[in-house]
Amino acid sequence: MYVYDQIDQRLVDERVRQFRDQTRRFLEGKLSEDDFRALRLRNGLYLQRHAPMLRIAIPYGLLSSRQLRKLAEITRKYDRGYGHFSTRQNLQLNWPKLEQVPDILAELATVQLHSIQACGNDMRNITSDHFAGIAPDEVVDARVWCELVRQWAMLHPEFNYLPRKFKIAVSGAAADRAAVAFHDIGLYALRDDAGEIGFRVLAGGGLGRTPSIGVTVREFLPWRHLLTYLEAILRIYNRFGRRDNLWKSRIKILVRDMGAERFRAAVEAEWAHLADAPSTLTEEELRRVESRFTRPAYLSGLADDTPESAWAEPGFTAWHRRNVHAHKVPGYAAVTLSLKKTGVPPGDVTAEQMDAIAELADRYSFGELRVTHEQNLVLPDVRRLELPALWRAARSLGLATPNVGLLTNVVCCPGGDFCALANAKSIPVAEAIQRRFDDLDYLHDIGEVDLNISGCINACGHHHIGHIGILGVDKNGEEWYQVEIGGNQGRTRPGDGAPGPSLGKVLGPSFARADIPDVVERLIRCYLEQRDSEAERFIDVVQRIGVEPFKERVYGDPHQEPAHRRGRLATA
Amino acid sequence: MAILIKNRRIVADGWRLLDAHAAEAALADGESLLLPLALWLERRDSLPERRAPLGVWLDSHEGPEAIAADVARFQVIAVNFPKYQDGRGYSTARLLRERYGYRGELRAIGQVARDHLYYMASCGFDAFLLREGEDPQAALEAFDDFSEAYQASPARPLPLFRRRA
């Protein structure tokens, strides 16, 4: 965990004071709705269907047990006793009261958490690989770079009123577990032949209405130049990004309109002025920030296997296979606590669970947790010896569903049940799919599938990068669902053979909600028939044979009579 | 009457802003005038004889490059913020201060509200023509919203990490 110094703390405290004053002025009628909107968004406060929503940043997914206990306390005291982990390593509260938000922010500040720039047209929470610092395939520990970028981005005076929201992700491993290519700026930390750290810099990635894969702006940017280079990109965007049309104002549109070459040239020309400016990072600053991270006191020389006795217990093997992940320190493993139990909205966690999870973190993982962009929690540093005990404890809390990476690990936005932007509900769709695939043997036989659901085109459920992506659409006031396949969040496995980032392709006309489990079932059947072995995943098959065979399976034989086809599935 | 804050004090505004459609005839008198960029570009070579102080104003889409070579001729450069959330002027200000070496008055005009002032001042503005309805006393307090900043800016030429003891 990064530990604040006095200045880090002071800035967050001053921000709370500032927002308290802004809220007071709004409630006294001295600030208009419009002005206050811009200010409250910059403090994580969004107006939803029923109530305000407060988005709390979990910086690059790092969370301590102490912070989680505070979050539990806040949900009890100011909300309805639960929270929702989003796809951007944030926690969202659905029922806070506007006038109490300054108090909530003050409480967050006591545990070094904040909501600064959690919403609004500004630089959002920096996201990263939830296995940063512990993954065996890691080249560079992304956390220190995330923190350097977090500090640079926080309250940046020039970039506080961007054309639109701006998301930065950092990854430092061979596998991409942070969907880096789908961010406004994506940073892959690398080492050159001499071992020096640098970054492959991508810009213009994103989801939403115009999904795009980021283009490479720099193949290798030496680390000292990281902040000045970010400044150059942001300045080009702040100055030239469109502000006349909400739907065309993300940096991806600027990159597209300028063309990658011209965009790159503009950034380089701007950076030529900024290179070696005082914001150029120093070895000293790098060491200073590194030294403010607490490190687990790993035991050395541990055997790197899980106790044999546990394998005999029913369920342990399946859990171990899906929810236990390799660790770079022998004798340790990372464990995902699945927040994807059937019947619970994906990513939701109750205050009681939060307290219990904090307890697990203290007992088994040095008091530390990670939040994943797939809306689960991770205990990053668990001794393999203790896996059986942890499994039993997690199971009794409903957090041991062995489905990480599988079809029922549905990534899902809050959708029409909560969100004012949604065209359709998403949570009931997730649940219906989970119920259809509740047979664990079948689920494990199907193997790895990313299934993502968004309730509207804003794509908070990242449906474009699900192997199967489902999008809620509105047709004449009715909820319908479009289905895509072939999306991929990135090279989630090391190696050149693994599929890289890709966007899903729409299968065809949309479906009624009740038909979605059938559609998914047909896609899966088609996959199972087509795969050449269990090692060939759903996404691999889609890439090999294309969308067409899946489309035929779902919509029926294209030569059949339309009336007959309509009889099978209600489509619109 | 709009309120002008300069160097954290409320002051009288001796400048008249000519709008983008001002006729050339307006240049004839001896007032302190803020010219729209287009008029300045059109008349820049015929104006040196004017005795009165000279200023120019840039709209949010007008980059500082257009006046880069002329900044020493202006006592005031104003930058317009046509909307509360239009942030282009922050970049304009930094470029004028940091790249083009402008040292005169840099004035924010348009939708300039209390809650912008700290960031505007950080980016190099030293004068602020508040929009109608702003409480001037509350505005004066805004400059102290934050006591530190991580980033380098005209207000703090070195980033925090180079200022640490």
Tell me the DSSP string of A328-360. Answer: SSTTEEEEEE----TTS-TTEEEHHHHHHHHHH
Please measure the distance between the N-terminal and C-terminal CA atoms of chain B and give it in whole angstroms. Answer: 46
Helix (H, G, I), strand (E, B) or coil at A227: helix
Q: How far apart are CA A200 and CA A171, in angstroms?
A: 10
Nearest CA in chain A to B60: A239
A29/B contact by beta carbon, under 8 A: no
Provide the pLDDT for residue B157: 97
Burial of A486 (0-12, 13-18, 19+ CB in 10 A): buried
Amino acid type, A17: R
CB contact under 8 Å between A157 and B148, yes or no, is no
Q: State how far residue B34 is from chain A, nearest Cα, in angstroms.
A: 23
- Read out DSSP for A429-496? HHHHHHHHT--HHHHHHH-B--EEEESSTT-TT-GGGSSEEEEEEEETTEEEEEEEE--B-S--SSST
Q: Average pLDDT over chain A, rounded to whole?
A: 95
Q: Which pTM was predicted?
A: 0.95
State yes or no: pLDDT of B21 exceeds 90.
no
The most distant pair of C-alpha atoms in chain A lies apart, rounded to whole Å, by: 72
Would you state the structure tokens that stand for residue A389, as one six-digit string? 């005990």
Helices of type H across A110-259: 142-153, 226-240, 251-258
Q: Are the beta carbons of A121 and B85 separated by less than 8 Å?
A: yes
> Tens digit of pLDDT for each residue in B96-134?
999 999 999 999 999 999 999 999 999 999 999 999 999
Q: Min CA distance, B92 vs chain A (Å)?
A: 8
Q: Which residues of B touch A20 (CB under 8 A)?
A: none
pLDDT at residue A565, as a whole number:
44
| Integer Cα distance of B105 and B7 in angstroms | 9
Reported as a pLDDT band with limits 50, 70 and 90, residue B31 is confident
The distance from CA A207 to its chain's CA centroid, rounded to whole angstroms, is 12
Amino acid making up residue A541 = V
Cα separation, A320 vs A313, in Å, equals: 11
Residues of A in contact with B87 (CB under 8 A): 121, 158-163, 238
Q: Which of B135, B150, B152 sits opposite A154 (nearest CB)?
A: B150
Contacts of A32 (CB under 8 A, 6+ apart): none
Buried b / exposed e across A225-246, counting CB within 10 Å, b at 16+?
Answer: bbbbbbbbbbbbbbbbbebeee
- How close A49 gets to chain B, by Cα (Å)? 24
Low-confidence ranges of chain A (pLDDT < 50): 560-567
How far is residue A31 CA from its own chain's centroid?
34
Inter-chain contact A239–B158, Cβ cutoff 8 Å?
Answer: no
Q: A480 pairs with which residues across the strands?
A: A473
Q: Is A155–B150 a contact, with Cβ atoms under 8 angstroms apart?
A: yes
Chain B residues in contact with A238 by the CB 8 A cut-off are 87-88, 90-91
DSSP of A494-510, one letter per residue? SSTTS---B--EE-SS-
Across the strands, what pairs with A47?
A52
B131 touches chain A (CB under 8 A): no
CA–CA distance, A79 with B81 (Å, rounded to integer): 38
* B2: exposed, middle or buried (Cβ count in 10 Å: 0-12, 13-18, 19+): exposed
- B94·A155 Cβ contact <8 A: no
The DSSP secondary-structure symbol of B115 reads G
Length of chain A: 572
Is the Cα torsion angle A432, A436, A438, A440 positive or negative in sign?
negative
pLDDT at B32 exceeding the cut of 80: yes
Neighbours of A435 (CB within 10 A): 12
3-state SS, residue A533:
coil
Helix A65-78 with A351-364: angle, nearest 10 deg: 170
Q: What's the confidence (pLDDT) of residue B49?
A: 61
Q: Tell me, what's the pLDDT at B25? A: 61
Mutate to test the interface with A, among B90, B96, B111 (most CBs of A within 10 A): B90
CB A488 within 8 A of CB A465: yes
**Residue-level pLDDT at A380:** 98
Tell if the CB–CB gap between A157 and B135 is shorter than 8 Å.
no
**Paired residues of A230 in beta bridges:** none
The DSSP code for A80 is S
Interface A-B, measured as beta-carbon pairs within 8 A, has a size of 94
- Residues 248-287, chain A, touching B (beta carbon < 8 A): 273, 277-279, 281-282, 284-285
Selection from A369, A305, A390 nearest residue A131 by Cα: A369
Q: Mention every residue, 6+ apart, whose C-beta is less than 8 A from residue A28.
A: none
Which of B63, B85, B149 is opposite residue A157, by nearest beta carbon?
A: B149
Dist CA A211 CA A254 (whole Å): 13
pLDDT value of residue A562: 43
A164 in reach of chain B (CB within 8 A)? no
Classify the C-alpha dihedral A269-A272-A273-A277 as positive or negative.
positive
Return d(Cα A355, Cα A361) in angstroms, integer: 10
Q: How far apart are CA A34 and CA A260, in angstroms?
A: 35
Q: For residues A505-519, b (16+ Cβ closer than 10 Å) or e, as one string?
A: bebeebbebebbbeb
- Provide the sign of the torsion angle of the four alpha carbons A543, A547, A553, A558, taken in this order: negative
B162 touches chain A (CB under 8 A): yes
CB-CB contact of A467 with A538 (8 Å): yes
Residue B148 tokens, joined:
């530190």
Chain B residues 37-56 within an 8 A CB cutoff of chain A: none
Measured between CB atoms, does B133 come within 8 Å of chain A?
no
- For B89, other C-beta atoms within 10 Å of its C-beta total 30
In the block, which residue shows the tokens 């970010």?
Answer: A230
Structure tokens, A277: 């400016």
Residues of chain B positioned with their CB less than 8 A from the CB of A281: 161
Q: Are strands B32-36 and B15-17 parallel, antiparallel or unpaired?
A: parallel
Contacts of B160 in chain A (CB under 8 A): 7, 151
Single-letter residue type at A476: N
Confidence of residue B51 (pLDDT cuts 50, 70, 90): low
Give the separation between CA A365 and CA A380, rounded to whole angstroms.
6
Using a CB–CB cutoff of 8 Å, tell me whether B146 touches chain A.
Answer: yes
The residue-averaged pLDDT of B49-72 equals: 90
- As a whole number of angstroms, the distance between CA B165 and CA B157 comes to 16
Q: How many CA atoms lie within 13 A of A439 on its CB side?
A: 6
Which ipTM value was assigned to this complex?
Answer: 0.97
Identify the pLDDT of residue A507: 96
